[in-house]
Structure 1
Amino acid sequence: MAVTSFVTGLLGLLIANLVFGPCAIALGAVALARGTVRRFRARLGMVLGAAGLVLYVVLSVADGTPSWHL
């Protein structure tokens, strides 16, 4: 779960922020609750998921629409 959290966190930075961001946060939290050996990767997945959500909000506000594009 920690590795999946990390991968979905990375994907959340690039595509589908509203889908992959919360998934990364939830998977990281579950992995930590279960006592994973890969604690750093679980935390990093949670941070990347949160960063993806923040990026979505910032770019949506800057663009003035609920979606964003570069």
Structure 2
Amino acid sequence: MTAMTTSIIARICGSCGCTPEEAKEYLEGEIRNLLDYRDVEDLRAEDFAQACDSLGLEHDFIPYFIERISIC
């Protein structure tokens, strides 16, 4: 797990009061959603913002999601 991923998981825990394990599941779920959109060629810029919003993250983390789906 990268330092960025660890930082994001900590922020998710802080925003929703969940455990690190739950936060990791939530994060991976959002990444799977983005990959699904990408695979059906329906990925939009606002999908990245929605992923951040769903996890209680600032939109500053959009590049993280872009990078994660580009390496899968």
Regarding TM over 0.5, the answer is no
| TM value normalised by structure 2 | 0.36
Larger radius of gyration: 1
| TM value normalised by structure 1 | 0.37
Structure with larger RCO (C-alpha < 8 A, sep 6+): 1
